[in-house]
Structure 1
Amino acid sequence: MKSIVIKHEDIKVCEERIVVDVEDKSLDITLLLDEHELAPLFCGAAWAGTLVWEAAVALSNYVLNEVDLKPLRVLELGAGLGVPGMVAGLLGAKRVVITEQPELVPLIRTNIRRNIASLSSVEAKILSWGREATTSFCDEMGLFDLVLSCDCVYEPLYGESWRDLAQTMDVLCQHNPNCKILASVERRHADGINKFLSYIATDTTLKARQLIRIPKTERGLCDEGEVIEVYCITHNSM
């Protein structure tokens, strides 16, 4: 089984560099932010988007091994650093749009520019979850064949934003009923994931099925997660 390799390198006291090796290619990702970009990350949960969570690695590995990306238009939701979306671009996806909160999009765009030779088909956009915002987004950006979502459901940090996330997924699949969503989540205490899956089943036109369940290989500070799960979410007609 093929897998991506994540390497963290401390360059200076305030700069960390992440190198993502994907087969014979690499991504060079910086975490260095300008002063005006740094302050907003300490409001709310935006700081979580500056880390590479294990769920993102798991989903990247699943895509690397199981998905033919070349003909696909790919969208990443709540992308953080955007590693899975960039991996999709590196592997030849037809088009990749990486979306996040306004606070994190500048960092994603910086890293796209740093790797532009490999990521010419990749762009970063702001997307707020929910039906209305996603409908407007689809009107502007068109249809997507594959949607990636990594560790976007965790109630202690994000509250019940999973409702808006589910609505966004619903709109994307209503615009393209053949769209497939791959969502990876880390199971933690009171994470809200079961509520999210129940909401999908009862309040959207979507259905979800578990693809894989992977025991975690690493545990970080204050990290209570034990398992990574990857789900495939599709329109009920599929």
Structure 2
Amino acid sequence: MAEETRPPKVMESFPLFTFSQANQAGQSFGLSGSLKKLPPPPCVEVAFSEPDSGFVSSLSDPIVIGDGHHGLTLFKGRVNTSDVFGVSNSDLVPGTYEGGLKLWEGSIDLVKSLRNEIDEGRLNVNGKRVLELGCGHGLPGIFAGLQGAASIHFQDFNVEVLRFLTVPNVYRNLIYTSTQSHPPKDNVPASSNVRFFAGDWSDVHQLLLPRFNDCQNEVASVTECDTSDAYDIILMAETVYSLSSLHSLYELTKKCLQYPQGVVYMAGKKHYFGVGGGTRHFVRLVENDGKMRALLLAEVADGSSNIREVWKLSYK
């Protein structure tokens, strides 16, 4: 199952691939090998190719969010990190594999908070441009698609995560499921409006915001740039685990978020023991910058891990 080495392309397509069983949700971060980070891989766009429907449905498990008549069923792919990266399921390898194949609890927390925001009339996703950073399974972005988002872009550090997990999972939840429903759902975004980008947060904006990037090379002030590529809503779950990447993550959100109405929803652990980051470190960075306000939406202390939080960030 090893993939032939080849130079990176601008577009990467999704091949069929067989994975072994993986755990439902990750609950801890482990580090493998040396902590010295390798140079980031080049940024590339991964093509949204349609996999075989039997392949997709057989390699996914239902995740029920909520209960009773208010329950929402999404699907997660079954992917084993040892099959794709050759590391154990609990490992992070800085600069090589950043945990994207696990389903972290923060993704579920974020979907629940988004649902509550919509139910309470504080968020309207319909017709909006949505970006999910560090997407992994992509459940928050998928939920936005089910709520009528006009376009959804998924970003992850690893090409492999997007090709082997995110692409088939998005297809399973948005495209395949909508065509199997009776009547077929017509509010999900067309596949042409769903895109996937791999790369480091320090430079992936070059793909996400091509017009903005060209403009920055020509004018002195960012406010003079065309921001039509910017996103109305940015989603991110379990992205704030490493202190060393918080600054580049925050700078990316500021570049990508539509001004002044854009909003960021962030879910994660209050503190990540062993890797140094956490939601409070990120919020402190936001508050010290002074351009955005942070509002705590939810706190989860269910005993399955250390305290988890969901925050909402918006421009002042």
Q: TM-score, normalised by structure 2?
A: 0.58
Q: CA deviation at 1:36?
A: 7.6
Unaligned runs of 5+ in 2: 1-17, 23-59, 119-123, 179-187, 212-227
SS in 2 for 1:160: helix
Residue of structure 2 in register with 1:150 after alignment: 237
| 1:166–1:204 CA contact under 8 A, matched in 2 | no
- Percent pairwise identity: 21
Residue of structure 2 in register with 1:20 after alignment: 63
Q: Which of the two has greater strand per residue?
A: 1
Sort the Cα spacing of 1:42 and 1:228 in 2 relative to 1 into closer, same or farther, 3 A.
closer
Residue of structure 1 in register with 2:281 after alignment: 195
Superimposed CA distance per residue, residues 23-47 of structure 1 (whole angstroms, 9 cap, x where no aligned partner): 5764333223798844488743735
Farther-moved stretch of structure 1 (204-213 vs 177-186): 204-213
Superimposed CA distance per residue, residues 192-233 of structure 1 (whole angstroms, 9 cap, x where no aligned partner): 4333222222236322222222223x52xxx4x1x2211111
**How many corresponding residue pairs?**
214
| 1:82–1:98 CA contact under 8 A, matched in 2 | yes
- Amino acid of the residue matched to residue 63 of structure 1? L
Sort the Cα spacing of 1:110 and 1:34 in 2 relative to 1 into closer, same or farther, 3 A.
farther
Residue of structure 2 in register with 1:58 after alignment: 109
Sort the Cα spacing of 1:142 and 1:36 in 2 relative to 1 into closer, same or farther, 3 A.
farther
SS in 1 for 2:160: coil
- Amino acid of the residue matched to residue 110 of structure 1? P
SS in 2 for 1:48: coil
RMSD: 3.1
| 2:125–2:147 CA contact under 8 A, matched in 1 | yes
Sort the Cα spacing of 1:228 and 1:38 in 2 relative to 1 into closer, same or farther, 3 A.
same
- Amino acid of the residue matched to residue 279 of structure 2? I
Sort the Cα spacing of 1:94 and 1:25 in 2 relative to 1 into closer, same or farther, 3 A.
farther
1:200-211 aligned within 5 A: 200-203=286-289, 205-211=291-297
Q: Distance in 2 between matches of 1:56 and 1:228?
A: 11
Sort the Cα spacing of 1:62 and 1:104 in 2 relative to 1 into closer, same or farther, 3 A.
same
| 1:76–1:147 CA contact under 8 A, matched in 2 | yes
1:36-185 aligned within 5 A: 37-39=84-86, 43-44=93-94, 46=97, 48-67=99-118, 68-101=124-157, 102-106=159-163, 107-115=165-173, 116-117=175-176, 118=178, 120-121=189-190, 122-130=194-202, 132-134=203-205, 136-139=207-210, 142-155=229-242, 159-173=243-257, 175-185=258-268
SS in 2 for 1:202: helix
Q: Distance in 1 between matches of 2:241 and 2:71?
A: 34
SS in 1 for 2:283: helix
Q: Distance in 1 between matches of 2:19 and 2:109?
A: 29
Q: TM-score, normalised by structure 1?
A: 0.75
Q: Distance in 2 between matches of 1:59 and 1:92?
A: 17
Q: Distance in 1 between matches of 2:116 and 2:288?
A: 32
- Amino acid of the residue matched to residue 205 of structure 2? T
SS in 2 for 1:191: coil
Q: CA deviation at 1:184?
A: 1.0
Unaligned runs of 5+ in 1: 1-11
Q: CA deviation at 1:152?
A: 0.8
Whose radius of gyration is greater, 1 or 2?
Answer: 2
Residue of structure 2 in register with 1:7 after alignment: none
Q: CA deviation at 1:114?
A: 3.0
Q: Distance in 2 between matches of 1:135 and 1:200?
A: 23
Q: Distance in 1 between matches of 2:166 and 2:252?
A: 21
